[in-house]
Chains A and B, each alone.
Chain A
Amino acid sequence: MLRFKLARQRGNMNMFAYLYLLPAFVLLGIFTIYPLINTIITSFRLDYRFLTGDFVRFSAQHYVDILRDPVFWRACINTAFIAFICVPASMAAAMGTATLLHSIKRLKGFFTTLYFLPEVTNIMAAGMVFALLFNNNFGLINMVLGWFGFDPVAWISGVGIAGSRELYMQAYLRCLFVLFVYSVWSGFSLQVILFLGALSRINPQYYQASSIDGVGRWKTFWKITFPLLSPTTLYVYITSAIIAFRAFAAIVALFGPTYGPLGDDSRMMITIVGYIMDSLGNYLSPGAVSMASAAAVVLLVIIMVLTALQMRLSKRWVHYS
């Protein structure tokens, strides 16, 4: 009798739990699940017209189109550059900085605030400031270079590159460099904070033990700190990489609405989200929205595959205490 009652109570509890979760489910359904499914369906509609809603038939043609489009590949490469080069670099810098910050006693709070500043800065504004820093004529970087006797570098410039593959590559590398510096800077702050938090949760006795054992600082970092930070490292990487995959506003702020420096017409610095945005911008022409959807689906698949891969790999080297 009692068990029956308990069971019934438990059943009621579950029902209440679902009831309370209902608003979240509804919101999730409306704003995440439905658009997701709709995007997938749209991506398979040939020559879909956004305004009237009609299309020729279901087909994978738009996937073939984007995979044949060199601009899409450029977008993939640039996105990969941010996710696989810039994010790890900024994480390494953040981990090193956090470790140093953690070891100092004075001015810790001051530096922590300083490093947190980029986090509360608007992306567009920060991007524009970076564009100014790297400005060819009056940028701070060129000014400093000038002090040391170097010639100014046209950081963000594609003037005269048309027709020359070599000049194009040089301009591209310079732009990648600017993007690299910006990405490292913008991701850095939050990562420092997260690593600082993780460091403060490591039992200081591990360090006392290793100092009694005469283990040097460098070894101690690699053998103790680094493995103990691994759950945070994984978390930071996954979240930062997902943010990186969606990079768009920063690119526009740095390189302008054509995703490239003046003189370039190849959308040199475009990202996948940029590509999607451009296609959506053409929504009046038949198939443009389908193409945007196809690109979005490709991005989704890439993110899902990579996340699964990371989770699997992480089992081997991430230590959860």
Chain B
Amino acid sequence: MQVRFESVTKQFQDKRKRIVTAVDNLSLTIESGKLMGFLGPSGCGKSTSLFIIAGIHHLTSGRIWFDERDVSVLPPEKRGVGMVFQNYALYPHLTVRQNIEFPLVNSKEIKNRLKAELVKEAAYGSMKELVAARVMETAKLVEIEDYLDRKPAELSGGQQQRVAIARAVVKRPSILLLDEPLSNLDARLRVQTREEIKRIQRKIGITTVFVTHDQEEALSICDEILIMKDGLFQQAGNPQEIYDRPANRFVAEFFGGVPMNMLQAHVKNKTLLLGDDELRTEVHLPDGEVSVGIRPESVVPEASGLAVTVREVRRQGGISTAVAELRDGQTICFFQESRHPVTIGQEIKLDFCNDGICIFNQAGEKVFQC
């Protein structure tokens, strides 16, 4: 199912009666069957946007569409979404089995749907059998069929997380919402589980929204990404595309494992100058001060180019970075190749990849890329 935000705004009133705009005039389309990531720093409105899809929050203004249906005022239970919460919200007093079957046995709507299925499919003699079969099928999907009689507290974080997914998908929702589902897991499990989520999502082909503040997570599993800041839309699209062509300075600095280099430069007669050094010509911008963003991997030591002095060499596991000082005192970070290692104090020359330089104006908007 396709989900569409149409100029959606959500405001809260905090304890001191001040208005907080959690989501500000957001328009966005999430294509059917895609895995969409909502990404942004803490408090930017990711969870709120998710809750808006679920129907837990009412809109201040705007509309939400599921395909051609306006669901803006539809209550949560009528929307047919499944949700995994930030810390799972598994019912602690129920076993894994009872948790998974909870929506099936306690919701009138779902029960009615199951009754209709029971009539159609003769394979199951009773409601009980059908529910048990559904629970088993879902448990197998997320590979927790061995723990069905345990309580959530007796499971590891990763297992709990899979139970939460099972509870969300057992009712066969048309949209799956995940609110930072991996934030409670350790680094290795996190990588493992995110692949798991991707696998499950592919398998059932469900439109999925995945909230995270970890850009690597988003980059690795999402088909599409929305980046937000202070409730405002920043950029949406294919993750690699966003990485390569950030729309503004915030996205450029936020998105990327090793932060993007940000240098002060200026444009004069269509030439981009860093101090006295010429970086690029044919820059079609008016004269004046600009910020220049360059990803570390776009910086390459070459025979000719920007003259710098190496000041620092860092090794982090397999990756080795170096920090060099420009003539005007600014610093620039780049990856060094193991075949041509640099040493501290060495004077080298740096060149920049094609399309590797983003130019931002004083307001932080990207005005040129070359």
Interface status of A166 (Cβ within 8 A of chain B): no
Q: 1/0 contact trace for B51-85 toward A, CB 8 Å?
A: 10011100000000000000000011111011101
A227, B151: Cα distance in complex, Å = 14
B50 smallest CB distance to A (angstroms): 11
A230, B93: Cα distance in complex, Å = 10
Q: Which of A127-135, A206-214, A283-291 contacts B (4 or more CB under 8 A)?
A: A206-214
**Residues in chain A near residue B78, CB distance under 8 A:** 214
**Residues in chain B near residue A205, CB distance under 8 A:** 85-87, 89
Interface status of A216 (Cβ within 8 A of chain B): yes
Q: A214-B77, A219-B106, A321-B93 are in contact. List 6 more A-B contacts (CB 8 A).
A: A208-B51, A209-B167, A211-B76, A212-B81, A214-B78, A214-B103
A213 contact from B51, B92, B153, B171, Cβ within 8 A: B171
Interface of B is mostly: mixed
**Residues in chain B near residue A145, CB distance under 8 A:** none
A213, B108: Cα distance in complex, Å = 10
Given contacts A203-B89, A219-B106, A319-B92, contact A208 B56 (CB under 8 A): yes
Q: Is the CB of B93 within 8 A of A228?
A: yes
Q: Is the CB of B85 within 8 A of A213?
A: no
20 A–B contacts, CB within 8 A, in A order: A203-B89, A206-B91, A208-B56, A209-B83, A210-B102, A211-B77, A212-B77, A212-B79, A212-B81, A213-B102, A213-B103, A213-B110, A214-B103, A214-B109, A214-B110, A223-B91, A223-B102, A227-B93, A319-B93, A321-B93
Q: Is the CB of B85 within 8 A of A209?
A: yes
A230, B92: Cα distance in complex, Å = 12
Interface status of B304 (Cβ within 8 A of chain A): no
Interface status of B107 (Cβ within 8 A of chain A): yes
**Residues in chain A near residue B108, CB distance under 8 A:** 214, 216
**Residues in chain B near residue A228, CB distance under 8 A:** 92-93
Residues of A213-232 contacting chain B, CB below 8 A: 213-216, 219, 223-224, 227-228, 230
Q: Is the CB of A215 within 8 A of B92?
A: no
A206, B87: Cα distance in complex, Å = 11
A264, B41: Cα distance in complex, Å = 76
Interface set of A (CB-CB < 8 Å, partner B) = 203, 205-206, 208-216, 219, 223-224, 227-228, 230, 319, 321
A208 contact from B85, B93, B110, Cβ within 8 A: B85
Closest 4 CB pairs of A and B: A214-B77, A213-B103, A214-B107, A205-B89
Q: 1/0 contact trace for B96-117 toward A, CB 8 Å?
A: 0000001100111110000000
**Residues in chain B near residue A214, CB distance under 8 A:** 76-78, 103, 107-110
A321, B93: Cα distance in complex, Å = 8
**Residues in chain A near residue B76, CB distance under 8 A:** 211-212, 214
Q: Is the CB of B89 within 8 A of A208?
A: yes
**Residues in chain B near residue A321, CB distance under 8 A:** 92-93, 153
A223 smallest CB distance to B (angstroms): 6
**Residues in chain B near residue A230, CB distance under 8 A:** 93
A223, B102: Cα distance in complex, Å = 9
B297 smallest CB distance to A (angstroms): 40
Of all chain A residues, the one with the shortest Cβ separation from B111 is A214
How many cross-chain pairs have Cβ atoms below 8 Å apart between A and B? 67
**Residues in chain A near residue B103, CB distance under 8 A:** 213-215
**Residues in chain B near residue A319, CB distance under 8 A:** 92-93
A206, B54: Cα distance in complex, Å = 14
Q: Is the CB of A215 within 8 A of B89?
A: no
B106 contact from A206, A213, A227, Cβ within 8 A: A213
A113 smallest CB distance to B (angstroms): 19
Q: 1/0 contact trace for B257-268 toward A, CB 8 Å?
A: 000000000000
**Residues in chain B near residue A224, CB distance under 8 A:** 91
Q: Which of B86, B107, B108 has its CB near the most chain A CB atoms (within 10 A)?
A: B107
Of all chain A residues, the one with the shortest Cβ separation from B171 is A213
Of all chain B residues, the one with the shortest Cβ separation from A319 is B93
B30 smallest CB distance to A (angstroms): 18
B137 smallest CB distance to A (angstroms): 18
**Residues in chain A near residue B77, CB distance under 8 A:** 211-215
A201 smallest CB distance to B (angstroms): 12
A214, B55: Cα distance in complex, Å = 11
A214 smallest CB distance to B (angstroms): 3
A216, B110: Cα distance in complex, Å = 12
Q: Which of A205, A214, A228 has its CB near the most chain B CB atoms (within 10 A)?
A: A214
A314 smallest CB distance to B (angstroms): 13
A208, B91: Cα distance in complex, Å = 12
Given contacts A205-B87, A319-B92, contact A211 B56 (CB under 8 A): yes
A177, B167: Cα distance in complex, Å = 48
**Residues in chain B near residue A227, CB distance under 8 A:** 93
B89 contact from A206, A219, A223, Cβ within 8 A: A206
**Residues in chain B near residue A215, CB distance under 8 A:** 77, 102-103, 106-107
Q: Which of A206, A212, A215, A228 has its CB near the most chain B CB atoms (within 10 A)?
A: A212
Of all chain A residues, the one with the shortest Cβ separation from B177 is A212
A206, B89: Cα distance in complex, Å = 6
A205 smallest CB distance to B (angstroms): 4
**Residues in chain B near residue A219, CB distance under 8 A:** 106
**Residues in chain A near residue B75, CB distance under 8 A:** 211
Residues of B155-197 contacting chain A, CB below 8 A: 167, 171
B361 smallest CB distance to A (angstroms): 42
A205, B56: Cα distance in complex, Å = 11
**Residues in chain A near residue B153, CB distance under 8 A:** 321
**Residues in chain B near residue A212, CB distance under 8 A:** 54-56, 76-77, 79, 81-83
Of all chain A residues, the one with the shortest Cβ separation from B152 is A321
Q: Is the CB of B106 within 8 A of A223?
A: yes
A213, B80: Cα distance in complex, Å = 8
A165, B13: Cα distance in complex, Å = 65
Q: 1/0 contact trace for B203-247 toward A, CB 8 Å?
A: 000000000000000000000000000000000000000000000
A260, B81: Cα distance in complex, Å = 63
A113, B230: Cα distance in complex, Å = 38
A225 smallest CB distance to B (angstroms): 11
